[in-house]
Amino acid sequence: MSGLLVDETIDITGLICPVPLIETRRAIKRAKEGQLIEFIGTSAESTSRKDILLAIENLKQELLSNENILDSDKWRIIIRVQKE
């Protein structure tokens, strides 16, 4: 567990592409500078995880955590929002 206190959690478990990517972009757009956003998905959605990580990089957001959730088939990505 990351131990970070997040401002918003986006649960994309069970969603198929491109919905997780769309939800990621929406969350970043509406967030304020410095807010922490957590994205939670399932390991079966490895394409979504990769797409989200690429979007975070392309949108120049700060990746704080990219981890599997113990005793679960879920993963967690946490970012700090950077506004240009």
Query: Mean pLDDT, 10 residues at a time, over the chain (84 residues)?
Result: 86 89 95 97 79 95 95 94 89
Task: Please give the DSSP secondary-structure letter assigned to residue 73.
Answer: S
The pTM is what?
A: 0.90
The CA distance from 10 to 15, in Å, is 11
Out of 3.40.50.720, 3.40.1710.10, 3.30.110.40, 3.40.50.410, select the CATH number for domain 8-80.
3.30.110.40
Domain boundaries, the chain: 8-80
